[in-house]
Homo-oligomer: A and B are copies of this chain.
Amino acid sequence: MATTGEPQMITLAKGINQGLRAAMDADSKVIVMGEDVGRLGGVFRITDGLQKDFGEQRVLDTPLGESGIIGTAVGLAVRGYRPVCEIQFDGFVYPAFDQIVTQLARLHYRSQGKLRMPVVVRIPHGGGIGAVEHHSESPESYFAHTPGLRVVACSNPVDAYWMIQQAIACDDPVIFFEPKRRYWEKASLDLSVAPPPLFRSRLLRSGGTATVVAYGPTVRTVLDAATVAERDGQQLEVIDLRTLSPLDLAPVFDSVRRTGRLICVSEAPGEASLIAEVAARVSQECFYSLEAPVLRVTGFDTPYPPAKCEEDYLPDLDRVLDALDRVLAY
């Protein structure tokens, strides 16, 4: 990618692709592995061209098995490599759950720092693409509940470009979520603008009516809702969590102390989710500032439904605005 200051329009998919390239250029220990990531460039083409340019020694088309992908990545990390693993779809990360939770997340602690696990697990997540079962899930809470992992979610092309590089540079295992239905959204990337640190949430829009927190694919939904709400004179303060574990809630507390109201938005089922954690923490930390209970707008506590129902399942602009009405009713 041109390192000139000239901003250029890139899609979120391209942002990750270019970020991967930059990371592989910067460190020869960075290798990419997963199902169909080589010649095909991945089913979403995120790794497009990488095998051609970096070779089969650094971009590995693996056999079909997620536990095998993560388990061998752990071994490669012990050897000094920095594997970037692609899980083809959110719904297929579960066969690797044991290796992620009992090995990847714990080897640094188990070895008391003698072993480092600089492994990135890339997972396209969320719905909205009309897919069949297992291709539209939001498993991020499983990982946020797992000590020893770091979990991040990018929501736009510019973050995608920087966050993937920061995740690869991180010496801890990072579960990296990519909002698949936003892969094709564009934004202008200006390389002369330094990125914020990886483990920081970010204020995207200021407003005094209420605070709305989101991450990944629903950030765009919330920004759209804010635009509509403004027409009715309601100013939403929008925060993109970006980091799901550790959570960076200080900016949320500050915001809620000003607005007195909070809406948390996520596609995942709400029960026992990281959004519940945000609600619980804010309810505790901002106990005297909250003028209304924290409201959650999430996927339902059901399996992800057939695609024809997903428009109803996914939190959309209307449901955010509906929650706004309800939170203001207190």
Residues of A whose CB lies within 8 Å of any CB of B are 67, 91, 94-95, 97-98, 101-102, 105-106, 109-110, 133-134, 141-142, 144-145, 147-148, 245, 247, 269, 271-274, 276-277, 279-280, 283-285, 287, 290, 292-296, 300-303, 330
Contacts and interface: CB of A to CB of B under 8 A. Distances in A.
A141 B147 contact: no
B302 A293 contact: no
Contact of A142 (B145, B147, B284): B145
A109 B302 contact: yes
A66 B247 CA distance: 32
B283 A294 contact: yes
Given A94-B97, A94-B101, A303-B105, A276 B283 contact: no
Given A95-B98, A133-B110, A271 B148 contact: no
B102 A91 contact: yes
A272 B147 CA distance: 11
A272 B215 CA distance: 15
B280 A296 contact: yes
Contact of A280 (B144, B279, B302, B303): B279
B276 A280 contact: yes
A294 B67 CA distance: 39
Nearest to A285: B293
